[in-house]
A and B are shown apart, each in its own frame.
Chain A
Amino acid sequence: MLFFSTLTHIVAQDCEARLTGTVVDYHDKTVLEGASILIIGTQTRTYSAKDGSFAFTGICKGVYELEVAHPTCETLIVPVTVNGDTAVEIKLEHHLEELEEVNVVGDVIRKKTNSALEESLKLETLESYSAASLGDALKELTGISSLNTGANIVKPIIHGLNGSRVLILNDGVRMQDMEWGDEHAPNIDINSAGTISVIKGASALQYGGDAIGGVIVMEQARVPKKDTLYGKTLLNGISNGRGGSISSELIRAFEGGFFIRGQGSYKRLGDREAPDYILSNTGVREIGTSIKFGKHKFIWGWDVRYSYYNAEIGILRASHIGNNDDLIRAINSGEPLFIRPFTYDLLNPKQDVTHHLGKFKFYHRFEGLGRLNFQYDFQSNRRFEFDIRRGDRDDRASLDLELTTHTLTSDFKWDAKENAELHFGLMGRYQENFANPDTGVRRLIPDYDKYDFGAFITGEYRFDNSLHLEAGIRYDFNRIDAQKFYLTSRWEERGYDNDFQDLIVENRGTQLLVNPVFDYHNISSTLGAKFILEDEYLIRVNYALAQRAPNPAELFSDGLHHSAARIELGDLRIGNETSHKITASLERDFAHWVFVIEPYANWVNDFILLEPTGVELSIRGAFPVWEYRQTDARLLGVDFSAYANWTSHWTSGHKFSLVKGNDFENDIALINIPAANLRNSITFSKAEWNDFELTLESQYVFRQNEFPDNITVFSPEQQQDVLLEINTPPEAYHLLGLQSKIGFQLGKTTELTTSLRINNIMDTSFRDYLSRQRFFADDLGRNIILQVKLNY
């Protein structure tokens, strides 16, 4: 990126002047050796010495422009007026890889932490999941699994934990999209991300202190600082669901730093299919769009982003049941009790979720000091859940929640020292939940106002290239102020009349209006080290303390969750949970192969979990009761991955993840812990054949042998106690997948890539332990996805 400029060279008689100077780093003023300094318009060039100094002699008086270049810095043009002997100081941006504003070619992903377990998905991988969801793509990484409600609702699980324990950062904004529900997937269009990193633990304190599971950081690809216009379009045809998706992106950037980026995607699928039958009412319609513009200069910059996401997702019709006996019938039947011919129609039960996200960000860099960031973001999340209802209520949602969040964050990163970095910041958030009473169904989540305040400081110190230390601490305050109606009978059954009678605002006979206001204080901290041993082994060790306040579902759930046919009971007595997690990783890079082994241990005191505890009888029959409770839990696990280059064309990848969850207070297994899983793949690639690549992948998911006991329930229909196999995991399964791609250069800047992906090649029937629909139907059968990508 060379600048063209007209030389304003005024020739003068006096050509005896000396032009001297030093080249230093912008941040910490360290001198830079080997920078090339060229007087534009002449052939006069020199290089900076060890102390950063340079000198030109015999310079005529006048105005010049110097082009200063350094291998690891951005090239700079500096105007200089020479009027006799002149000295200048030239500041170059040395931390190139740390700068968001600078164009970074390819897939250079800066790590968010040094000592924690962190993995990233590159754009290329994300593109291959263009027609799928965030949760599906993340499963490419070791230690990540998902809690599914059908094929379209995929909640990521990190090291065995999900929901409120997993934070999702969408372009710097912490998603507030009702992550508390098991059947609430992240409201994110995967096509809007350029890279996704996962930090498996709470070590990234700048994002929040409650990430007991981990943090998912989605970032957009950087926009180059030059005059350019480019974009891409992805088209997917999907056999299972008989639909497809389209996603397009266009970016215009200017040399001055101004840019605008627009992106949109649309996906439509009909009923998905298991090998033996149609999964009725499992279609999906999804729209995602975002626009971002701003000006990113070196010293300062700002940007504005707005994104919109809407998804209408069908829920397997056969999974909508009335009571325990229906559930027993469904489990015994072995196949769905409701199968109708294929259709694109989305009928009840279904979800309709909308997420708006608006953000404004501003930054300013202070010379020799660091960078100040300021951000305001607004999010509005609306969720409708439609059930099968009696009478003319089918068009009325059974659940209608509106969650509005405003967040202000500000942070300062001090990076003036070469070997140390300090990062501190503040966060303030206000959130309001409105539960629409027009549903005619008692609210599962009440109206509430929530106030959050957080402050953090993290530091990093590099002794030399072989040892990095980092540490941080964060404090968070949460206040939740809710207005909730309890059935008087429920209030008494929970024993709240003894403990919380003072919260009652009004007694309406059968219902009580209560106003709980709870405060929570959370401390989180992290300490870690990264060292390189004998230039061969890379070792990371990290300890993270994290505290999380209970979410509204854990506190306030009460009553029948119609779509799940279960009574879910929160508990006002639930307090925060505290996690102590130790992670380590050992990495070794041999000439032709690499392996990484990552063991971890997570002790969670007062771990909040939801599990079936019994049944409650009603006129509709018996319902399983799922209660939130707190216990001391321990999660132990290990992730292993290896990669080998056998020849220049053949490579192979191997991944294994295992996690064990235990409630050691009661010595029972934790519910919903992912089963061990082994993935092996072999790839043939040949660049000469238009970048041809073919990968065969095998995935073996073991049976989960550790699960809580089933419950015994009285079946009114059978007039006896029966065992409800609500916890029994399904059998192990093995799936084969295939991926292939080939690219064509169409023009100077136009490239076409076609790829083919086949999931579940053998059309194997299977059920997964972490699928909430495993009681009712098999998982997806074979799926062929044909993708055409055009870069222009």
Chain B
Amino acid sequence: MKTIKFLSMLALTGILFTSCSDDDDTPEEVNEEEVITTMTVTLTPQGGGTNITLVSFDADGDDGPIEPVLTVSGDLAADTTYDGTIVLLNTTESPAELVNEEIEGEADEHQFFFVVGGGLNVTTAYADDESDYVSEATGENFTTTNPVGIDFTLTTAAASNGTLNITLLHEPTKPNDGTVEGAGGETDITATFALTIE
């Protein structure tokens, strides 16, 4: 009899356990924090002229099925040097989050790479280095001077067609040989724009 009493008490405890933890709370929505939805590259011709913008926009970020949409506002002019700047946004948050701040704060762990393909007569050069940015870890400017690429220059030559690939790597080897292959790390963003030089 003692046994049965004991067993039933135990069974009861078990039931209590399960019923207590049964809560039907609605889970909290998670908005992906590290999403980059938009990369906008603005090319400003030195000495005046029309700005060209290159945009890669992925409405649902890297998680969702929607493919990124690439837009190029116009053709580049021949024999011109453009000042380029890159702005990264997360538009799944409102207001849109400026991701640049995080890249700048970890400038030593990030680098943009520019790869020209398909006969486009273009050369690129870095116009910034890590020491231009304030380290988030120390609160002071970095003391190292490896390139970052948030600011760069793009110089066109004769009229041609081709592609410009822009890739942001996280934790590449720094300094590196300037190629994506040699840098390692992992891709945070990559977009290949079809460009024409008139």
| Number of residue pairs A-B, CB distance < 8 angstroms | 175
Q: Which of B10-18, B122-130, B146-154 contacts A (4 or more CB under 8 A)?
A: B10-18
B163 and A391 contact, CB distance less than 8 A = no
A617 and B63 contact, CB distance less than 8 A = no
B65 and A490 contact, CB distance less than 8 A = yes
B30 and A441 contact, CB distance less than 8 A = yes
Task: List, in ascending order, chain B residues with CB within 8 A of A716's CB.
Answer: 165, 190-192
CA of A616 to CA of B6, assembled, Å: 58
Task: List, in ascending order, chain A residues with CB within 8 A of B192's CB.
Answer: 716-717, 719
Given contacts A406-B18, A441-B34, A719-B118, contact A388 B190 (CB under 8 A): no
B188 and A374 contact, CB distance less than 8 A = no
A508 and B29 contact, CB distance less than 8 A = yes
Within 8 A of A (CB), among B108-150: 115, 117-118, 136
**Max chain A CB contacts within 10 Å: which of B6, B32, B39?**
B32
Given contacts A321-B186, A717-B165, A717-B167, contact A493 B14 (CB under 8 A): no
CA of A490 to CA of B62, assembled, Å: 12
Partner of A618, one of B27, B38, B58, B171: B58
A329 and B65 contact, CB distance less than 8 A = no
B189 and A619 contact, CB distance less than 8 A = yes
Q: Which of A43-51, A432-440, A590-598, A668-676 contacts B (4 or more CB under 8 A)?
A: A432-440
B7 and A489 contact, CB distance less than 8 A = no
A337 and B7 contact, CB distance less than 8 A = no
CA of A717 to CA of B99, assembled, Å: 23
How many chain B residues sit at the interface, stated as a range, is 35 or more
B34 and A619 contact, CB distance less than 8 A = no
Name A623's closest neighbour in chain B (CB-CB): B62
B30 and A443 contact, CB distance less than 8 A = yes
Task: List, in ascending order, chain A residues with CB within 8 A of B180's CB.
Answer: 325, 329, 717
Partner of A439, one of B30, B165, B189: B30
Partner of B14, one of A376, A559, A567, A617: A376
B33 and A440 contact, CB distance less than 8 A = yes
Instruction: Say yes or no: is B177 at the interface (Cβ < 8 Å to chain A).
Output: no
Residues 34-50 of chain A, each 1 if its beta carbon lies under 8 Å from chain B, else 0: 00000000000000000
B189 and A620 contact, CB distance less than 8 A = yes
Q: How many A residues touch B, CB cutoff 8 Å?
A: 65
CA of A719 to CA of B181, assembled, Å: 16
Instruction: Say yes or no: is A172 at the interface (Cβ < 8 Å to chain B).
Output: no
B67 and A617 contact, CB distance less than 8 A = yes
Name A339's closest neighbour in chain B (CB-CB): B184
Task: List, in ascending order, chain B residues with CB within 8 A of A616's CB.
Answer: 65, 67
Shortest Cβ gap from B122 to chain A (Å) = 15
Instruction: Say yes or no: is A326 at the interface (Cβ < 8 Å to chain B).
Output: yes
A325 and B190 contact, CB distance less than 8 A = yes
Shortest Cβ gap from B16 to chain A (Å) = 10
B58 and A513 contact, CB distance less than 8 A = no
CA of A717 to CA of B116, assembled, Å: 10
Residues 307-328 of chain A, each 1 if its beta carbon lies under 8 Å from chain B, else 0: 0000000000010111101100
Residues 604-623 of chain A, each 1 if its beta carbon lies under 8 Å from chain B, else 0: 00000000000011111101
CA of A619 to CA of B33, assembled, Å: 15
CA of A487 to CA of B59, assembled, Å: 11
Given contacts A391-B136, A619-B39, contact A322 B165 (CB under 8 A): no
Residues 432-470 of chain A, each 1 if its beta carbon lies under 8 Å from chain B, else 0: 100101011111001101000000000000000000000
Instruction: Say yes or no: is A408 at the interface (Cβ < 8 Å to chain B).
Output: yes
Name A449's closest neighbour in chain B (CB-CB): B22
CA of A565 to CA of B22, assembled, Å: 35
Task: List, in ascending order, chain A residues with CB within 8 A of B33's CB.
Answer: 393, 440-441
Shortest Cβ gap from A749 to chain B (Å) = 38
CA of A318 to CA of B118, assembled, Å: 31
B102 and A390 contact, CB distance less than 8 A = yes
Given contacts A392-B136, A490-B65, A511-B29, contact A619 B191 (CB under 8 A): yes
B28 and A617 contact, CB distance less than 8 A = no
A391 and B105 contact, CB distance less than 8 A = yes
Partner of B61, one of A374, A390, A618: A618
| Supplied contacts A322-B187, A619-B38, 17 more A-B pairs, CB within 8 Å | A321-B187, A323-B187, A329-B180, A388-B171, A408-B11, A428-B14, A432-B22, A443-B27, A483-B27, A487-B63, A618-B62, A618-B64, A619-B37, A619-B68, A619-B190, A716-B192, A717-B165
A/B interface sample: 13 pairs, CB < 8 A: A320-B186, A323-B190, A338-B173, A391-B105, A404-B21, A428-B14, A439-B30, A442-B30, A449-B22, A620-B190, A716-B165, A717-B192, A719-B118
